[in-house]
C-alpha cells in the first residue's frame, strides 16, 4: 500500500520509461513521502503483443473480416504464425533471447506483410550494423505490420508512441474529446483499465498523479481518470506534465473536473507536495464541500473547481525548489527489464530514440539561449534557466547506475550548456566512470575540436541539435544565433571526434521562399555527402501560442486564426502572407533525407525528389566543403583550461649532430588505447613537457589555464606560441592535450 500512485498513461516510448514520474518519485523521496509509479503504456503494449493478446485481437477483429483490405487479409490469414512467434519476438526485443537473431535473419521465420516491402531499399545498410540490429529491424517491421492491422481493423487511434493523438492536438474545445469519452471502451481501453484496476487494488492510493507529456497520452489519461471516478470515488486525481504545462494554461471548461480534481502547471515538485499535504494531512475547512476538494487554501499553479467554476490558484508563497534540491530520479517499480528495443530505419543515430534503455537526466532547467522565435520561450520550463553543478549531476548518474544497473544516459535538456557539458565530462573521466550518453545541443562555436574530443572520451556518443532552416537570413530571423558555416564546422568537430550528429530541420517558416527551401535542401545534401551529418528529421513549422511568432504574429508576416479557447491552446492555424503552400514539399524533403541517411542518392538532381517544378539551387556545390576548409584560428583564450587526458610517456634521450655541432634531443613515446606514437623535442623542451604533463593531468587538483602555462614556459624558455603550435605539440593535441 502506498498513498501516492504516479501514472504515465499510454503511450510514450517502447524502449525506456518517460522520466516524469521518476523525477517526481525522486523528489518525494527527499520528503519521505512514499509513492508507487507505473508506466501504463509499456504494460498495455506487453499485454497486447503477447500470445493471449493476439488471440483476443484476432477474435475481436474477425467480426469485421469482410471490411479488411488486402494487407490486413494477409495478416489475418497468417494469424497463427503471429500468435506462435509473438512471445519469442518480444523476448528478443527485450534482450532476453539474442540467439533468435540468427533465425529471424535467415528468413521464413517471421510472417511478412506490407512493411517488409521496403527491405530491398535498406538491406545493404546492416552490413555495418550487425546481425542483432538487422534482426531488431525485421522484428520492428513485424510489429509495425501488426500495428497497421490494429489501426485498420480494431482501433484507428492506435500507435506505438501515441494513442488518439488527434483528440488532444489543438483541441481548443473539450467537446470532441468529451463526446469520445462517452463511447464504450475500445479494445485498447479495456486492456488499460484492466491493468489499472489491478494496480489500484494492490496500491490502494489516496492520490493518483497522472503525468501527460504529449497529446498522444491525453485521451488515455482521461479514460483512466473516468474509471477511477466511477469506481474509486474517494481517490483524488491530479494531472500534470508537458501537455497541461503547454496547452491547458487557459482552461475554462468545468467538465474537465468531472475527471480530475486538480491540474498543475510547470515544475511539479512544489505543487505536488502541496497537493499531498492537502489530500493526506488536511481536513476540509468549515463550510467547504465534503468531497474534500477545498482544504487549507495553499496551492501552487493549480486549477481546480470551486462553486462550479474553474479557478486557478497560486496562493502558496513558497518558492519552487532549486534543481540541487529535487533529488535523484527514482526508477524503482518500473519494469526496466521488460522495455523493448526497436529499430525503425537502418541509421545508427536515428535508432537512439527507440533502441536501448536510457536513464533520463537533465543538466539544466530551461534553455540558456532562450531566444528562438519558433520556441515556447515565454513558458517557465524554457525561460527559467538554472544549471545543476557538475558534481551533483555525476553523483546522480552514479546513483542511477547503482539503482538500475544501466550506464546509458539521455540528457533531455532543451539545449545542454557547453560549459556544463565540459565540467560534467571532466568529472566523469576524473571518477573513471564508464558511461554512454547523448543529449540535445545548439550548434554553437563553443564546440571546438578539443571540447568534442573531451566529450567523446567521457562517453558521449551522439548529439542532436536544431539546424532548422539552412539559410542565414532565416536563421537570423529565427534568432538562432548560429550560421550555416558555423553549423558545418561544429558538426565536423563532433564527427571527427567519433560523435554522431542528428539535425532537426524545418521548412515553412514565415516568409520562407521556395528558393530558400530548395537551397536548404542543397545545404543538407552537402552536409550528408561530406559525412559531417549522420541523421536528420524535417518538420513543418508550427505556430504555437507561447512562442514569439504566436504572440506577435504581425511581426512575422502571418495571420492567425482566432478561436475561442476553453480547453487546450498551443498550435495555432495561420496563413502566411507569402501564400506559399509549404505542405507540398513534405514528401520530397523526407524522401530525399531518408536516402541521404543511408548514404545514397547524393548525385540526384534536387528536382528528382519533387513531382512539381522547383527552381535551381543558388548554393554552390562546394559551399559546405569551403566552410570546412577555412583555416582554424591559431589563438587560444588565455583563461582556457589545459588538460592532459593521456598517460605519462616513455622517455629516451639521444644526441643529434649536424655540421660538427651536436645537441641533446628527447623522444617521448606515448601509448593510447588504439596506437603508439612518438614526438621528438629538444631536451630542454622535452623535460619541461614531461614535468608539466603531470600538472595537466585530469586528476590534478588545480586546473592550469593557457596563460598560466604560457607564463610557466616562458619563465624558462622562449616564445610559448611557437612551441604550442609546433608539429610535435599538434600531434599531442590530437591525442588528448586539450585546450578547453
What's the per-residue H, E or C state across 292-357? CCCCCCCCCCEEEEECCEEEEECCCCCCCCCHHHCCCCCCCCCCHHHCCCCCCCCCCCHHHHCCCC
Residue 680 backbone dihedrals phi, psi, to 5 degrees: -120, 130
Q: Chain-wide mean pLDDT for the chain?
A: 92
How confident is the model over 706-732, as a mean pLDDT? Answer: 92
Determine the average pLDDT of the residues in 375-401: 95
Where helices occur in 462-504 by DSSP H, the ranges are 472-478, 484-496
CATH of residue 314:
3.40.50.280
Task: Report how far residue 651's alpha carbon sits from residue 670's, in angstroms, rounded to the nearest whole number.
Answer: 9
Dihedral-angle region of residue 599 (phi above 0 means left; psi in -120 to 50 means alpha; beta otherwise): left
Whether 443 maps to a domain, the answer reads no
Clarify whether residues 173 and 314 are in a common domain: yes
Domain count, the chain: 3
pLDDT at residue 491 in the model: 96
* pLDDT computed for residue 127 by the predictor: 55
Residue 288 has pLDDT above 70, yes or no: no
Which pLDDT belongs to residue 632?
Answer: 64
pLDDT at 351: 83
Considering the chain, what percentage of its residues have pLDDT values greater than 70? 96
Strand order in the sheet with 535-540: 359-361, 408-411, 436-441, 460-468, 500-507, 535-540
Give the model's pLDDT for residue 167.
Answer: 86
Same domain, 22 and 170: yes
218: in domain: yes
Judgement on whether residues 151 and 221 belong to the same structural domain of the protein: no
Contact 50, 191 (CB under 8 A): no
Mean pLDDT of 276-304: 68
Q: Please state the rounded mean pLDDT for residues 527-538.
A: 95
C-alpha cell at 152: 485498420
606 pLDDT above the threshold of 60? yes
The answer to whether 247 and 568 are in contact (CB under 8 A) is yes
- CB burial class (10 A; 0-12, 13-18, 19+) of residue 307? exposed
Distance, in Å, from the CA atom of 411 to the CA atom of 413, rounded to the nearest integer, reads: 6
In this prediction, residues 365-388 reach a mean pLDDT of 93
| Cα–Cα distance for residue pair 91/104, rounded to 1 Å | 13
Taking the C-alpha atoms of residue 238 and residue 225, their distance in angstroms, rounded to an integer, is: 9
- Residues 441 and 415 sit within 8 Å (Cβ to Cβ): yes
Question: pLDDT band at 124, cuts 50/70/90?
Answer: low
Does one domain contain both 208 and 304?
A: yes
Say how far apart CA 4 and CA 133 lie, in whole Å: 39
pLDDT tens digits, 73-121: 999 999 999 999 999 999 999 999 899 999 999 989 999 999 998 765 5
Q: Residue 162 in 3-state DSSP? A: strand
- Could you give the CA distance from residue 658 to residue 131 in angstroms, rounded to a whole number? 59
502 has a pLDDT exceeding 70:
yes
176 and 292 inside one domain: yes
Residue 135 maps to a domain: yes
* Backbone φ and ψ of 376, nearest 5°: -80, 60
Same-domain status, 96 and 193 = no
Query: Which of 290, 324, 358 is the last residue before a domain boundary?
Result: 324
Cell 548560429 belongs to residue: 482
Which triple of cell numbers denotes residue 552?
Answer: 506577435
Q: Using H for helix, E for strand and C for coil, what is the string for 345-412?
A: CCCCCHHHHCCCCCEEECCEECCCCCCCCCCCCCCHHHHCCEECCHHHHHHHHHHHHHHHCCCEEEEC
pLDDT over threshold 50, residue 294 = no
**CA 200 to each of CA 181, 191, 204, 217, 331: distance values in angstroms, whole numbers, following the listed order:** 21, 14, 5, 19, 19
Taking 50 as the threshold, does the pLDDT of residue 646 lie above it?
yes
Select, from the ranges 239-243, 289-293, 471-475, the one with the highest average predicted confidence (pLDDT). Answer: 239-243
pLDDT in tens, 541-554: 999 999 999 999 99
Residue 29 in domain: yes
Q: Is 44 helix (H, G, I), strand (E, B) or coil?
A: helix
**Which pLDDT score is estimated for 258?**
97
Q: What value does the mean pLDDT take over residues 397-420? A: 96
Q: Is pLDDT at 284 greater than 60 in this prediction?
A: no
What are the start-end ranges of the E strands in 414-563?
A: 436-441, 460-468, 500-507, 535-540, 543-544, 558-560
- The whole-number pLDDT of residue 287 equals 39
Residues 6+ apart with CB under 8 A from 536: 467, 502, 503, 504, 505, 524, 528, 593, 596, 597
What band does 662 get if pLDDT is binned at 50, 70 and 90? confident
Domain range for residue 96? 47-158
Residue 652 dihedral angles phi and psi, to the nearest 5°: -135, 125
User: CA–CA separation, 188 vs 10, rounded Å?
Assistant: 9
Assess if residue 589 is contained within a domain.
no
DSSP calls for 100-145: HHHHHHHSSSS---GGGGGHHHHGGGGGTT-HHHHHHHHHHHHHHH
Give the pLDDT band of residue 636 (cuts 50, 70, 90). confident
238/285 same-domain check = yes
What are the percentages of helix, strand and coil residues in the chain, rounded to 5? Answer: 45, 15, 40
Residue 129 scores a pLDDT above 70: no
Residues 103 and 177 in one domain: no
Residues listed for the chain: 740
pLDDT value of residue 703: 87
pLDDT at residue 32 greater than cutoff 90: yes
513, part of any domain: no
List, in order, residues 6 or more apart from 203 with CB less than 8 Å away: 1, 2, 5, 36
Residue 117 lies in a domain: yes
Tell whether 173 and 301 lie within a shared domain.
yes
Same domain, 238 and 308: yes
Average pLDDT of the segment spanning 328-355? 89
Among the candidates 280, 297, 324, a domain finishes at 324
Backbone angles phi, psi at 83, to 5 degrees: -60, -40
In whole angstroms, give the CA distance from residue 607 to residue 508.
Answer: 18
Do 33 and 172 fall into the same domain? yes
Q: If you ran DSSP here, which 8-state letter would residue 185 be given?
A: P
Report residue 656 as a C-alpha cell.
643529434
Q: Phi and psi for 292 in degrees, rounded to 5?
A: 80, 10
The CA distance from 327 to 624, in Å, is 45
Helix (H, G, I), strand (E, B) or coil at 625: helix
- Residues 28 and 169 placed together within one structural domain of the fold: yes
Percent of the chain at pLDDT exceeding 90:
80
- Tell me what the mean pLDDT of segment 279-306 comes to: 67
Q: Which of 158, 179, 203 lies at the terminal end of a domain, its last residue?
A: 158
Instruction: Place 570 in a pLDDT band, splitting at 50, 70 and 90.
Output: confident
In angstroms, rounded to a whole number, what is the distance separating the alpha carbons of residues 364 and 463? 16
N-to-C CA span, the chain: 51
What confidence score (pLDDT) does residue 514 get? 95
**Does 51 map to a domain?**
yes
* pLDDT given at position 623: 95
Whether the predicted pLDDT of 430 surpasses 90: yes
For range 659-673, the mean pLDDT: 90
Start-end of H helices in 598-634: 623-629
Amino acid at each position: 500500500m502506498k498513498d501516492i500512485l504516479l501514472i504515465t498513461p499510454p503511450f510514450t516510448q517502447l524502449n525506456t520509461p518517460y522520466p516524469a514520474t521518476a523525477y517526481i518519485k525522486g523528489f518525494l523521496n527527499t520528503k519521505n513521502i512514499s509513492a508507487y509509479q507505473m508506466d501504463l503504456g509499456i504494460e498495455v503494449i506487453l499485454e497486447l503483443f503477447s500470445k493471449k493478446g493476439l488471440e483476443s485481437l484476432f477474435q475481436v477483429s474477425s467480426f469485421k473480416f469482410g471490411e479488411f483490405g488486402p494487407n490486413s487479409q494477409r495478416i489475418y490469414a497468417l494469424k497463427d504464425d503471429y500468435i506462435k512467434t509473438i512471445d519469442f519476438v518480444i523476448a528478443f526485443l527485450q534482450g532476453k533471447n539474442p540467439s533468435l537473431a540468427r533465425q529471424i535473419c535467415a528468413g521464413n521465420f517471421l510472417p511478412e506483410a506490407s512493411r517488409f516491402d521496403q527491405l530491398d531499399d535498406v538491406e545493404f545498410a546492416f552490413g555495418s550494423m550487425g546481425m542483432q540490429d538487422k534482426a531488431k529491424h525485421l522484428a520492428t517491421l513485424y510489429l509495425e505490420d501488426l500495428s497497421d492491422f490494429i489501426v485498420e481493423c480494431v482501433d484507428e487511434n492506435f500507435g506505438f508512441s501515441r494513442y488518439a493523438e488527434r483528440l488532444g492536438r489543438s483541441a481548443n474545445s473539450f467537446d470532441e474529446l468529451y463526446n469520445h469519452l462517452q463511447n464504450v471502451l475500445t479494445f485498447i481501453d479495456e486492456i488499460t483499465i484492466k491493468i489499472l484496476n489491478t494496480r489500484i487494488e494492490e496500491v490502494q492510493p489516496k492520490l493518483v498523479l497522472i503525468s501527460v507529456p504529449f497529446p498522444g497520452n491525453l485521451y488515455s489519461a482521461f479514460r483512466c481518470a473516468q474509471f477511477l471516478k466511477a469506481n474509486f470515488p474517494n481517490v483524488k486525481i491530479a494531472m500534470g506534465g508537458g501537455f497541461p504545462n503547454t496547452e491547458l494554461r487557459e482552461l475554462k471548461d468545468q467538465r474537465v473536473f468531472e475527471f480530475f480534481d486538480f491540474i498543475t502547471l510547470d515544475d511539479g515538485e512544489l505543487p505536488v507536495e502541496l497537493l499531498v499535504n492537502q489530500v493526506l494531512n488536511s481536513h476540509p475547512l468549515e463550510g467547504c464541500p465534503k468531497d474534500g476538494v477545498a482544504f487549507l487554501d495553499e496551492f501552487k499553479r493549480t486549477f481546480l473547481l470551486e462553486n462550479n467554476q474553474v479557478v486557478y490558484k497560486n496562493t502558496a508563497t513558497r518558492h519552487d525548489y532549486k534543481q540541487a534540491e529535487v533529488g535523484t530520479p527514482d526508477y524503482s517499480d518500473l519494469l526496466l527489464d521488460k522495455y523493448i528495443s526497436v529499430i525503425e530505419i537502418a541509421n545508427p543515430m536515428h535508432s537512439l530514440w527507440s533502441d536501448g534503455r536510457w536513464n533520463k537526466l537533465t543538466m539544466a532547467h530551461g534553455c540558456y539561449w532562450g531566444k528562438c522565435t519558433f520556441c515556447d520561450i515565454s513558458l517557465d520550463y524554457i525561460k527559467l534557466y538554472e544549471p545543476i553543478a557538475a558534481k551533483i549531476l555525476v553523483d546522480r548518474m552514479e546513483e542511477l547506475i547503482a539503482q538500475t544497473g544501466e550506464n546509458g544516459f539521455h540528457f533531455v535538456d532543451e539545449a545542454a550548456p557547453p560549459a556544463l557539458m565540459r565540467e560534467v565530462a571532466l568529472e566523469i573521466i576524473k571518477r573513471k566512470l564508464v558511461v554512454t550518453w547523448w543529449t540535445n545541443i545548439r550548434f554553437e562555436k563553443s564546440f571546438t575540436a578539443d571540447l568534442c574530443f573531451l566529450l567523446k572520451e567521457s562517453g558521449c556518443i551522439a548529439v542532436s541539435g536544431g539546424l532548422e532552416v539552412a539559410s542565414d537570413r532565416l536563421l537570423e530571423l529565427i534568432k538562432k544565433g548560429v550560421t550555416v558555416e558555423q553549423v558545418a564546422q561544429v558538426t565536423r568537430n563532433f564527427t571527427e571526434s567519433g560523435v554522431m550528429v542528428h539535425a532537426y530541420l524545418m521548412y515553412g517558416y514565415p516568409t520562407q521562399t521556395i528558393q530558400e527551401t530548395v537551397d536548404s535542401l542543397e545545404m543538407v545534401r552537402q552536409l550528408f555527402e561530406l559525412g559531417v551529418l549522420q541523421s536528420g528529421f524535417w518538420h513543418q513549422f508550427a505556430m504555437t501560442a507561447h512562442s514569439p511568432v504566436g504572440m506577435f504574429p504581425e511581426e512575422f508576416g502571418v495571420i492567425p486564426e482566432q478561436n475561442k479557447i476553453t480547453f487546450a491552446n498551443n498550435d495555432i492555424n495561420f496563413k502566411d502572407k507569402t501564400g506559399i503552400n509549404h505542405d507540398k514539399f513534405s514528401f520530397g524533403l523526407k524522401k530525399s533525407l531518408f536516402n541521404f541517411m543511408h548514404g545514397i542518392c547524393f548525385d540526384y538532381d534536387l528536382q528528382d525528389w519533387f513531382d512539381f517544378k522547383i527552381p535551381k539551387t543558388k548554393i554552390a556545390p562546394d559551399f559546405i566543403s569551403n566552410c570546412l576548409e577555412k583555416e582554424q584560428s591559431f589563438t587560444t583564450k588565455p583563461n582556457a583550461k589545459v588538460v592532459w587526458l593521456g598517460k605519462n610517456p616513455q622517455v629516451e634521450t639521444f644526441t643529434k649532430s649536424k655540421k660538427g655541432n651536436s645537441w641533446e634531443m628527447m623522444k617521448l613515446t606515448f601509448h593510447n588505447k588504439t596506437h603508439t606514437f612518438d614526438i621528438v623535442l629538444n631536451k630542454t623542451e622535452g623535460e619541461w613537457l614531461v614535468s608539466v604533463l603531470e600538472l595537466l593531468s585530469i586528476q590534478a587538483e588545480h586546473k592550469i589555464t593557457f596563460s598560466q602555462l604560457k607564463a610557466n614556459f616562458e619563465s624558462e624558455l622562449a616564445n610559448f606560441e611557437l612551441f604550442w603550435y609546433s608539429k610535435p605539440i599538434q600531434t599531442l593535441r590530437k591525442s588528448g592535450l586539450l585546450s578547453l
